Amino acid sequence: MDLIHIPRPATDNYMMLEAIAKDRKSSGGVHIISLAKNKNVIKLGRGSDSDIRISDISVSRCHAIISFRNNS
């Protein structure tokens, strides 16, 4: 049972990432990332070419790459 309604992409290939707040004054969030057939690599980081930009000095310009291969 869903506690909150979060719209999901029409494709079966997607992932959800939760952003955790550093303190009580900040709010977290949820990123829903579609891995459509033409997009099978997601880049996370501070860089302008990142798919998910994280503006925190402790994060690298290209901090992580998540790839979708062979249906996993």
Question: Contact 69/40 with Cβ under 8 angstroms?
Answer: yes
Element (H, E) at 51: none
SS (H, E, C) 32-48: EEECCCCCCEEEEECCC
pLDDT at residue 48, as a whole number: 92
pTM of the model: 0.63
pLDDT at residue 37, as a whole number: 65
User: Where in the chain are the domains?
Assistant: 14-67
pLDDT at residue 47, as a whole number: 93
Torsion angle, CA of 69/34/20/2, rounded to 10 degrees?
-110
**Hey, what are 8's tokens?**
């999901």
pLDDT in tens, 5-64: 888 777 777 888 887 777 766 667 777 877 776 777 889 999 999 988 888 889 999 999
**Number of neighbouring beta carbons within 10 Å of residue 50:** 19
